[in-house]
Amino acid sequence: MYIKKKINNFTVIFNPSGAIFILELSILVISDLHIGKSHSIAKYGNFLPPFDIDDTIGKIKSNIDHYNPKKIISLGDSFHESDTLNIISENHIKNLNELFKNREVYLIDGNHDAKLKCKEKLNAIFKESLILNNFNFTHIKNSQSIKDLFEFSGHFHPKVTITSNKIKYKFKCFILGENFCILPSFGTYTGGLNINSDVLKKILPKKKKVIAIGKNKLLEI
């Protein structure tokens, strides 16, 4: 199940995996993969199941198989630590490059991976931010909107709470404003921040749409 929206005269498709596809430009946008988080945690002696990288890569792959995008943009925090590319197995890097083959891949800097080491291992272009056809792609939402630009960002891992029969259910979500969209975190081991938390309340306008993510379904609130 998908939700389609017209933004800047382009068709933007919201996918329940947490990705966005801009149809006419053939761009797949994802955010906050946090690849290597399990390793970073293992360093402190907590051995979480190390399948998160495969799972995250698998989710990217199914999006690529579905949309066959010309361009892929990851909106920062693609890797959990600056050392990640040295720590994760060569196989994982190979798998990533396989996905990136014959496509233009832009990895935007996030707070976790701005100082990423061994960038040359990946067939990707590293950017602080990127402007394409009136769209601005960046990690953290700018506090002031830039004229005529619609902005895609990540960083906050937004989550929404829905109450039913006095029980609070939490879902990852997209936040859609007049001229911005914050994507949910895409990585398997990523948590979330409630859209009603003080941090997000401060930066979000009153008027906004929220699209909650299920497993294969979306719910617009």
Partner 1 sequence: MDDFLNLKKIQEKLASNKWNLYEYQKEFLETQSLKKFRQILITSEIGTGKTITAFLPFFSGKLEKKKRKVIYISPLKSINTTLKERLTELSSFLGISCRIEKRTSDISYTIKKKQLFHIPDVLLTTPESLALMIANPYAKTLLEDTDYLIIDELNEFINSKRGDQLALAISRINAINSKFEIFGISGTTSNKAYLLDWLSINGKTKIIDNKFKKKIKIKVVCSKNIPTSGHSSYCSLKLIKKIISNKRSIIFVNTRAQAEILFKNLFLLFTDNHKIGLHHGSLSKEHRQKTEEQFVNEKISTIISTSSLELGIDFKNIDQVINIGTPKSINRLIQRTGRSHHFFSGVPTSYLIPTNKFEFLECIASKKLAEERKFDFIESKNGSKDVLCQHLLLLACNAGLNPIKTFQEVKKSYAYSKLNYEEFLEIINFIKDGGYILNNYKKWNKLNIDEYGILKINSLKNRIKTLMNIGTIIDNSNLKIKLKNGKVLGFVDESFIMSIKCGDVFTFSGLNLICNSISSEEISVDIVKKKSQKTPIYWGGNLPLNQNISDEILNSFVDKKNYPLEIINFICKQTKVSSIPKKDEVLIENFPYSNGQYLCIFTFMGKQTNQTLSELIISFLKTKYNILTSDYSINEYSIALFVNKNANFKLNFLDSFFAKKKINIDFLKTSIAKKIFKEVSLITGLIDKKNTRKQNFVSSDIIFDTLFKYQPDHILLKITEEEIKRFFSEMTQIDFLFKKKIILNKIKKPSPFSETLIYQKEKHYINAHNPDNLFDFFNN
Give 49 or 206: the residue with its C-beta nearer to partner 1.
49
- Residue 215 CB, shortest distance to partner 1, in Å, is 5
- State the Cα–Cα distance between residues 16 and 184, nearest whole angstrom: 10
Q: Which CA distances in Å does 104 have to 69, 107, 152, 179? A: 9, 10, 18, 25
Give 6 or 166: the residue with its C-beta nearer to partner 1.
166
Handedness of CA 106, 153, 214, 13 (dihedral sign): negative
Helical packing angle, 52-67 and 90-100, nearest 10°? 10
- Residue 167 CB, shortest distance to partner 1, in Å, is 5
- Residue 196 CB, shortest distance to partner 1, in Å, is 10
Give 7 or 57: the residue with its C-beta nearer to partner 1.
57
Give 178 or 220: the residue with its C-beta nearer to partner 1.
220
For the chain, the straight-line distance linking the first and the last C-alpha, in angstroms and rounded, comes to: 16
**What single string gives the DSSP state of each residue in 22-45?**
ETTTTEEEE----BTHHHHHHTTT
| Backbone phi, psi, residue 184, to 5° | -75, 165
Q: Which CA distances in Å does 68 have to 11, 25, 46, 161? A: 16, 12, 37, 33
- Residue 200 CB, shortest distance to partner 1, in Å, is 15
**Which of 86, 89, 122 shows the shortest CA–CA distance to 106?**
122
- Residue 96 CB, shortest distance to partner 1, in Å, is 16
- Residue 179 CB, shortest distance to partner 1, in Å, is 28
Beta-ladder partners of 163: 168
Give 63 or 190: the residue with its C-beta nearer to partner 1.
190
Give 6 or 44: the residue with its C-beta nearer to partner 1.
44
Contact residues for partner 1, defined by CB under 8 A: 37-52, 54-55, 89, 162, 164-167, 169, 171, 188-189, 191, 212-219
